[in-house]
Structure 1
Amino acid sequence: MKLVLFDLDNTLLAGDSDFEWAQFLISKGVLDAEVHEARNQEFYDHYKAGTLDIHAFLDFQLAPLARHSREELDAWHREFLASRIRPMIGAPARALVRRHLDEGALTAIVTATNSFVTGPIAREFGIEHLIATIPAWENGRFTGKPRGAPSFKEGKIERVEAWLESLGYWWGSFESSHFYSDSHNDLPLLSLVSDPVAVDPDDTLRQHAQAQGWPVISLRNPQ
């Protein structure tokens, strides 16, 4: 059996769901545009540069979840999925996921974006397993803080290994292990699997992939 892992943002999606969720809440008037838009862009720029303070970002990104009921959040997310996310899912991405599912691979999305935002997106792809940053939940509401290790950089390895162990597997259980990602932030996990694939990669990852002889592919629809 194969193990197939997918990054989500700018890999399966032609965009970043974390960034777009904050922009969506700004567009709904839930977040103040003047305060949050510049901060959202600042965090996104740090992510792309590889300098993101994940804990400061999570304080920013998870705080809105704590201020609203789950019913409100779920209603906004349904609109968000329809208006922002589905347009970012191209046919090549759906076909790649379907090919691996049809071949019987154990498949998961591994993303730093929190599981509230990404859970419905994983289901949109038909992927059962999601390894994401977990927003803490107490007394029927989100707390605005993460629970456990963020699924980011080396944290993705920690979270994937805990998930595999929970299923009774380890890396040696598979004939091959694949990870698809666009970002140099994912080099720790890309370097661990047997078959890393760079997908529409940033410049740093592209250079590394070319030096290592890794496949470089695109999932973007031709314009």
Structure 2
Amino acid sequence: MTPEKSRRPLDLQQRSTLAGEAAAASADVEAALATPADPTAAAFFDVDNTMMQGASIFHLARGLHRRKFFTTREIASAAWKQAYFRIVGVEDPDHVASTRASALSFICGHTVEELQELGEEIFDEAMAHRIWPGTRALAQMHLDEGQRVWLVTAAPIEIAQIIARRLGLTGALGTVAEHVDGVYTGRLVGDMLHGPAKGEAVKALAEREGLDLGACSAYSDSYNDLAMLSLVGGPCAINPDARLRAYARQQGWRVRDYRTGRKAARAGLMAAAVAGAATGAVAAGAAVRRRR
């Protein structure tokens, strides 16, 4: 094994930890300032295909595309690459590195305020009606029990916070895009909040907020979120992909499926493809610069 290859796992762990800590530090905690009835328990919800039908990052990208942030060719090319890697399960390290470096670069030069304003518009036009009623009811159940509820998603933290606020939740953890003086640089803080990074974000938030993870719950549709689901005492698979469904049954976890008119196993494969395409859509900024 070459020295370069031996360093890769450590690099990934460092990026995941940095992304998790950045997401926790950027979490919207205004609603958490009041002492909850159950201060040590909380619930963590994935967004894409768990809280919302489809991928929030895709709805965001499509909304920004309509507003001329980038071209159809750019979004389609990156989306296809990510869908392919999700289905085949093989990713070239050089491609991953370049994708990470370019992810969210389409907002380079735009302001945080601008993205927040457009995010509000895009939520109303493309996301609000896609919230799963069943998952929303589960989140409300935790709130009614005096627990805090956070979203945990690979979507930009600004969009994640909008969704959380609109749903009346405590706050959100999301991918953190670097900005200086309120203007995006096109770089990420750490990595995308995906896979191991979600687990790091939840651990960092739990430490800061004094949560007992054994008394907490987590919800996701994806096997990729095992790092988060395995941390808590009450994991639950929502609209699960095939691998997560099988794993959840083996572990005796709760399973809830709110999809209709489709078979879960088939939907699991399609959901993985859509989620990969959505991530690719956001990474489409590889060759994009601010349009004036």
CA–CA distance in structure 2, aligned partners of residues 87 and 49 of structure 1:
31
Q: Given that residues 237 and 244 in structure 2 are in contact (C-alpha distance below 8 angstroms), is that contact kept between their aligned partners in structure 1?
A: yes
Aligned twin of 2:203: 161
Aligned twin of 1:65: 107
CA–CA distance in structure 1, aligned partners of residues 84 and 220 of structure 2:
18
CA–CA distance in structure 2, aligned partners of residues 57 and 119 of structure 1:
24
CA–CA distance in structure 1, aligned partners of residues 153 and 193 of structure 2:
6
1:68 deviates by 2.3
Cα offsets for 1:187-221 (capped at 9, x unmatched): 12212221211100111111111222211102347
Structure showing the higher strand proportion among its residues: 1
Judged with a 3 Å threshold, the aligned counterparts in structure 2 of structure 1 residues 48 and 131 are, in CA distance, closer, same or farther, namely: farther
Aligned twin of 1:30: 69
Aligned twin of 2:258: 219
Residue identity in the other structure for 1:109:
L
Partner of 2:49, secondary structure, is: helix
Larger mean Cα displacement after TM superposition, 116-125 or 144-153: 144-153
Aligned twin of 1:194: 233
Aligned residues: 220
Higher relative contact order (Cα pairs below 8 Å, separated by 6+ residues): 2
Residue identity in the other structure for 1:115:
I
Residue identity in the other structure for 1:13:
M
Alignment pair present for 1:77 and 2:147: no
Residue identity in the other structure for 2:252:
G
Q: Given that residues 42 and 142 in structure 2 are in contact (C-alpha distance below 8 angstroms), is that contact kept between their aligned partners in structure 1?
A: no
Larger mean Cα displacement after TM superposition, 112-121 or 90-99: 90-99
Aligned twin of 1:133: 175
Cα offsets for 1:11-65 (capped at 9, x unmatched): 0001101122122222333211012223124324535666677764444441122
Normalising to structure 1: TM-score of the pair? 0.86
Larger mean Cα displacement after TM superposition, 67-76 or 160-169: 67-76
Aligned twin of 2:25: none
Cα offsets for 1:54-105 (capped at 9, x unmatched): 7644444411221323444233222211111112113223222111101011
Residue identity in the other structure for 1:25:
L
Following TM superposition, where does structure 1 have runs of at least 4 consecutive aligned residues deviating by more than 6 angstroms?
none
Q: Given that residues 156 and 177 in structure 2 are in contact (C-alpha distance below 8 angstroms), is that contact kept between their aligned partners in structure 1?
A: yes
Judged with a 3 Å threshold, the aligned counterparts in structure 2 of structure 1 residues 91 and 169 are, in CA distance, closer, same or farther, namely: closer
Q: Given that residues 53 and 130 in structure 2 are in contact (C-alpha distance below 8 angstroms), is that contact kept between their aligned partners in structure 1?
A: yes
CA–CA distance in structure 2, aligned partners of residues 197 and 165 of structure 1:
22
CA–CA distance in structure 2, aligned partners of residues 190 and 140 of structure 1:
34
Pick the aligned partner of 1:96 from 125, 138, 154.
138
Mark the runs of 5 or more structure 2 residues left unpaired by the alignment. Answer: 1-37, 263-292
Residue identity in the other structure for 2:185:
T
Alignment pair present for 1:4 and 2:43: yes
CA–CA distance in structure 2, aligned partners of residues 63 and 126 of structure 1:
30
Q: Which has the larger radius of gyration?
A: 2
CA–CA distance in structure 1, aligned partners of residues 88 and 252 of structure 2:
23
Normalising to structure 2: TM-score of the pair? 0.67
Q: Given that residues 92 and 221 in structure 1 are in contact (C-alpha distance below 8 angstroms), is that contact kept between their aligned partners in structure 2?
A: no
Q: Given that residues 22 and 61 in structure 1 are in contact (C-alpha distance below 8 angstroms), is that contact kept between their aligned partners in structure 2?
A: no
Residue identity in the other structure for 1:68:
H
Residue identity in the other structure for 1:42:
K
